[in-house]
């Protein structure tokens, strides 16, 4: 087990070993160039999933989280559409459930 710093934060958390995710996308070790990379990364313990916090304060599932990649996560979360790649600023000002 090792410590990894979450992106755009000062928070570090324990993580699986780098060898466990070698060669595949990983929210901790091998982040892809997705559209939420500039958002603060947090671990949402209640849902056991890595998330990104948008500028409006909403938690969006991190596209590199294993549950998201595998389809195990339903995707339901409080949402303002910032997790949608091409959402307009107007769409991002709402607060609907996805």
Q: What is the pLDDT of residue 97?
A: 47
Q: Which helix (H) or strand (E) holds 52?
A: strand 49-53
Q: What is the pLDDT of residue 57?
A: 93
Cα separations (Å) of 24 from 2, 47, 90, 94? 18, 22, 34, 34
Tell me how many domains the chain contains.
1
Q: Are 60 and 68 in contact (CB under 8 A)?
A: no
pLDDT beneath 50: ranges in the chain: 95-98
Q: What is the pLDDT of residue 89?
A: 59
Q: What is the pLDDT of residue 92?
A: 57
Residue-number span of the structural domain to which 85 is assigned: 1-98
């Amino acid at each position: 087990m090792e410590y990894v710093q979450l992106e755009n934060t000062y928070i570090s958390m324990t993580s699986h070993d780098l060898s466990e995710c070698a060669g595949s996308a990983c929210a901790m070790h091998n982040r892809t160039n997705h559209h939420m990379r500039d958002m603060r990364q947090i671990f949402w313990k209640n849902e056991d999933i890595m998330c990104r916090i948008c500028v409006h304060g909403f938690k969006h599932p991190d596209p590199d989280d294993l549950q998201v990649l595998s389809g195990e996560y339903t995707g339901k979360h409080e949402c303002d559409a910032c997790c949608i790649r091409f959402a307009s600023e107007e769409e991002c000002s709402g607060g609907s459930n996805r």
